[in-house]
Amino acid sequence: MCDPISLGIGIASAGLSAYGQAKRSAANEKAAKAAFVAEGQALVARRAEETIAGRRDIEQTGREIEQIKSRALTQAAAGNVTGISVELLEGDFERERGETFEAMQENIRMVRGQIGRELRGAAARREDRIRSTPGPNYLALGINIASQVQTGLAEKTARSAKLKTGGTSYTGSG
């Protein structure tokens, strides 16, 4: 690399390499963000669907418990059962309804929590993907250019010294 053309080509090559790395890094980041948005939208939609379905299940279960309770109380009345037995039966239905509703609401909370963790996982995958394609290393680029300039200057100095001492200008490297 003893002549200015070779030096210019080396510097241009290093610059184009850095430019290419920057473009690949930017494209990778854009793709990672787009994938995250798509996955995030799907997870948010799933969370809404799960919540709606859970609430619908709670309402349906409430109606079913109420129907069973009504039938039991009707049968108790038809059998002339009154007093504490009927009150205990009603209490059992209310306790069962409360436990069932609490379990169903806990299930909804757990599903929503799981989807939230999946969303955080998607964000982490986005960051990993962005980091997997590093951008240009400008320090290495600067060192490469400085090294090429130094090599070119050293060869030029050596050539000049040989010419002053009566040697040839050919160094065998360029």
Give pLDDT tens digits for 8-43.
Answer: 777 788 788 888 888 888 888 899 999 999 999 999
Evaluate if residue 109 carries a pLDDT over 90.
Answer: yes
Evaluate if residue 118 carries a pLDDT over 90.
Answer: yes
**Is the pLDDT higher at 19 or at 144?**
19
Backbone phi, then psi, for 24, in 5-degree steps? -65, -40
**Is the pLDDT higher at 141 or at 75?**
75
Evaluate if residue 1 carries a pLDDT over 70.
Answer: no
- What average pLDDT does this structure show over 63-89? 86
Evaluate if residue 174 carries a pLDDT over 50.
Answer: no
- What average pLDDT does this structure show over 40-66? 92
Question: Which pair of tokens denotes residue 89?
Answer: 């039966």
Residue 48: predicted pLDDT: 93
- 28 vs 164: CA distance, rounded Å: 55
- 141 vs 148: CA distance, rounded Å: 11
Evaluate if residue 90 carries a pLDDT over 70.
Answer: yes
Evaluate if residue 171 carries a pLDDT over 60.
Answer: no
2 SS3 class: coil
Evaluate if residue 58 carries a pLDDT over 60.
Answer: yes
Question: Which pair of tokens denotes residue 53?
Answer: 């379905």
Q: What angle do CA 11, 13, 14 make, to 5 degrees?
A: 65
- Say which DSSP state 168 is in: -
Evaluate if residue 3 carries a pLDDT over 70.
Answer: no
